[in-house]
Structure 1
Amino acid sequence: MNKQNISSKLSENIYSQIKQVLIQARATVLTTVNTAMVQAYWHVGKLIVEAQGGEERAAYGDELLKSISVRLTKEFGKGFDASNLRNMRMFYLSFPKCDALRHELSWTHYRALIRVSNPKAREYYAKEAAAGKWSTRQLERQIATQYYERLLSTHRDETAVESLIKNNLPAKPEKFDPLTLVHDPFILEFIGAKEDVIWQESELESALISHLEEFLLELGRGFAFMGRQKRITIDGQHFYPDLVFYNVLTRSYVIIDLKMRRVDYSDIGQMQLYVNYYNREVCQPDDNPTIGIILCSEKNDTVVEYTLGDRTDIGVFSAKYDLIMPTKEELSREIELTRQKFKLING
């Protein structure tokens, strides 16, 4: 290699290293600036609340905000209109501890979070957004689809949901509850389906793979995609589960089968076969039992109940999916229906 080539290679190597240093520095600066601005807005909100006596006083409050807004806008520019000052006030009231603010979240994240009225749901979204590095758009989507409420609809109590938002990977629990990875319904609006188009199961499978990032967001934190149509061979017969995932938080395989119709007993039996095979042939000693989820256009809780009986250790569940984003009212009704059915089945 001649001197010119050596010099060129050395130059490229140094350039790459310098570039990486500058990129990291810029990211650090942006994070620092973001954190400083979020904390500043929190303190502004605190001052406004204290000036109003900590209470909602419409007449005095509005006049105060308008007066402050005019002066701040004149001195600091955009971002300090009365509406944004109200957001800062609500920010302080929603997150009263400054040291609990998450540096991963921007002001636009917090503006979405302060509109969540349920404090537990708000905390859940904040922790998940920080841990999953959600964009503001992803956070708004989860809030709009009532993800927390859907998750809670199939849980025995909120403790199970709270266990999902721990930042550290848990050790294998003595008692594993597979419902920690199931919610109902699943919202799949991101695939772009239209109401007047009938999909085939293979088309839905391909669409979910094409929108894998969005599907993983809908599934929840900790999911890793393992493959589609992964062959299982039993006594010379081949079987092909639609989608296979592994959840690193619960340390369990999750098998998903897609049905463009109402679920029936044969679907449940087939999923039981998949789950049993993975438990015996694929799972490692540190893994929890495999979970099987049948995603269907229409559930059949009675068939599921009679097929599985009273056993809760099998880990096979059916869940409805919506290809079109339902209205807020429709979604709330579906969630409440799921909650009531779950209470009846589980006593």
Structure 2
Amino acid sequence: MMEHYDLLLDRVGGLLKAGRIEARQQINTVLVETYWHVGRHIVDFEQQGDHSAQYGKQLLEHLSVDLKQRYGKGFSRSNIYQMRQLYLCYPKIQTLSGKLGWSIYCELLSISDSLSRSFYEQQCLVENWSVRELKRQISSALFERLALSSDKQGILALARDGHQPAIAADLVKDPYVFEFLNLPERKQYSEKQLENQLVDKLAQFLLELGKGFAFIAQQYRVTLNNTHYYVDLVFYHRILKCFVLIDLKLGKVHHQDIGQMNLYLNYFKKEENTAGDQAPIGIVLAADKDEILVEYATGSISNQIFVSRYKTHLPDRKALARELALLLEEQGD
């Protein structure tokens, strides 16, 4: 009897959880759509009268005061401004996603560039980011870092579809940003300390690596003829079905580092891969790199080896945005 009751309890509990999730989703959808209509009415009203900035500022202030008196909290001047921006940035209500809440849209509206905003919107849908995760990725200039390694069509595809890895090169960023480690800018630390910090803050590290990474091991031992070698970090990528090996270097990458990674990849290909696994991928992460050296050092290697930089502090987003704008301008239509 108790077994049947426990089953009943589990089924009812499952229904209640699913119902609450659906109810929250519906509330979010209705709220976003309502705020879109509020924004539309404000813009329509403005277009019938004085277009001056001073008039617009006073209108939002008056609306804020009157709406708070009638309907309570949630109608600060900044919140009403964001409702107006929602309509201006998404003039067709059909382009709003029913899966994203108002707090996510508030963050997206802080992005002035439409390509960048579209990318982060798609990533929120693909990876189910929280507001905190979205803020972190915007601050770390994820779109610019990914886009600068693409041609114009690749950039437009990134903005339209988000970042969904299909080949090995899609996994790699340059640079990676480890600002979440909170390392002092001038403090000396060893490769081992950097590695330990990344493992200690694995959730943030996985967010920086991107979708599909599963952590396997730290200091993975490779033994050849009774000599031991150690891969700093080993992951498995669930989408590409392959091992991803990462070696950390404090200074500039050397050709020996690339040769060592090639050894690791050959070992994993023969000794660790099982049926269904694709060829492993190697990423050498260094504080700096010489592009010419990397080109020659990887030129005749059949394995998939990538060399990227890492930064322990946030990059200059404005500088990256300028680089991206120049790239798009050079490539033309």
Q: Give the 3-state SS of the residue equivalent to 1:198 in structure 2.
A: coil
* Unpaired segments ≥5 residues, structure 1: 1-5
**Which residue does 2:314 correspond to in 1?**
325
**Which residue does 2:66 correspond to in 1?**
71
1:184 to 148, 162, 174: 174
Q: How many residues align?
A: 326
Q: Which amino acid aligns with 1:42?
A: W
* 1:199-239 CA distance string (max 9 Å, x none): 22222222111211111111112222222222334455433
What displacement does 1:15 show?
4.9
Q: Which amino acid aligns with 1:223?
A: F
What displacement does 1:291 show?
2.3
1:272 to 251, 262, 265: 262
| 1:48 counterpart = 2:42 | yes
**Which residue does 1:27 correspond to in 2?**
21
Q: Is the 8 A contact 1:128 1:165 kept in 2?
A: no
**Which residue does 1:200 correspond to in 2?**
190
What displacement does 1:16 show?
5.1
Q: Aligned in 2, Cα 1:328/1:159: closer, same or farther, shift over 3 Å?
A: closer
Q: Aligned in 2, Cα 1:120/1:277: closer, same or farther, shift over 3 Å?
A: farther
Q: Is the 8 A contact 1:105 1:130 kept in 2?
A: yes
TM-score, normalised relative to structure 2: 0.84
Q: Is the 8 A contact 2:119 2:159 kept in 1?
A: no
Q: Give the 3-state SS of the residue equivalent to 1:238 in structure 2.
A: strand
Identical aligned pairs, as a percentage? Answer: 35
What displacement does 1:10 show?
6.9
* Distance in 2 (alpha carbons) for counterparts of 1:96 and 1:220: 31
**Which residue does 2:239 correspond to in 1?**
249
> Superposed, which structure 2 residues align to 1:127-146 within 5 Å?
127-146=122-141
**Which residue does 2:208 correspond to in 1?**
218
Q: Is the 8 A contact 1:155 1:179 kept in 2?
A: no
What displacement does 1:42 show?
1.4
Q: Is the 8 A contact 2:243 2:279 kept in 1?
A: yes
Q: Give the 3-state SS of the residue equivalent to 1:241 in structure 2.
A: strand
Q: Give the 3-state SS of the residue equivalent to 1:154 in structure 2.
A: coil
Q: Aligned in 2, Cα 1:52/1:160: closer, same or farther, shift over 3 Å?
A: closer
What displacement does 1:61 show?
2.4
> Superposed, which structure 2 residues align to 1:227-306 within 5 Å?
227-283=217-273, 287-306=277-296
Q: Which amino acid aligns with 1:182?
A: V
TM-score, normalised relative to structure 1: 0.81
Q: Aligned in 2, Cα 1:240/1:158: closer, same or farther, shift over 3 Å?
A: farther
What displacement does 1:297 show?
1.8
* Distance in 2 (alpha carbons) for counterparts of 1:289 and 1:160: 27
Farther off after superposition, 286-295 or 88-97? 286-295
Q: Aligned in 2, Cα 1:81/1:335: closer, same or farther, shift over 3 Å?
A: closer
Q: Give the 3-state SS of the residue equivalent to 1:225 in structure 2.
A: strand
Q: Aligned in 2, Cα 1:321/1:280: closer, same or farther, shift over 3 Å?
A: same
**Which residue does 1:3 correspond to in 2?**
none
* Distance in 1 (alpha carbons) for counterparts of 2:171 and 2:159: 9
Q: Is the 8 A contact 2:251 2:286 kept in 1?
A: yes
* 1:149-205 CA distance string (max 9 Å, x none): 0112223445278369859988xx7xx4x3211111111111222224322222222
Q: CA RMSD in A?
A: 3.4
